[in-house]
Structure 1
Amino acid sequence: MSAIIKLKFFFEKHGFHVSSRLADTLGMRASSVRLFFIYLSFVTVGLWFAVYLTLAFWIRLKDLIRAKRTSVFDL
């Protein structure tokens, strides 16, 4: 067996066992728990992208409000 297939088998055996065990304790199907984690990962990526855009807008707004003066005589 090649190393990639062994690695895949290891992750399938131990990684999917986590979601199936969690589903057993919650009384749900394992596919629903896996789908929840997939949706959660997309939401967290989107959340940080929204934070990034908000901070970029805030910095841009701050620069627009404060006029940059080049010398003392621009008062």
Structure 2
Amino acid sequence: MLQQFLTFFEKRSFGVCAYLGERFNISISKIRLFFIYSSFLAVGFPLIVYVFAAIVLDVRHYIKRIRDTVWDF
């Protein structure tokens, strides 16, 4: 069960940490550690921020993909 859970998140990683790392030029592992430690301190609030950021990035990617395909003739 735990292995399936880990495999799911490894395959379907939302890319939030990678996006933030590229955007702010910070190591991805430091951002991941920040989310882990802050979620222990703030009782899961950063997980809500992470999921919200994942949804926003997914919607942006979807809109960008639609916009690119409409203008390709």
**Largest Rg, 1 or 2:** 1
Higher RCO (CA 8 Å, separation ≥ 6 residues): 2
TM above 0.5, one fold? no
Query: What TM-score results when the alignment is normalised by the length of structure 1?
Result: 0.43
Query: What TM-score results when the alignment is normalised by the length of structure 2?
Result: 0.44
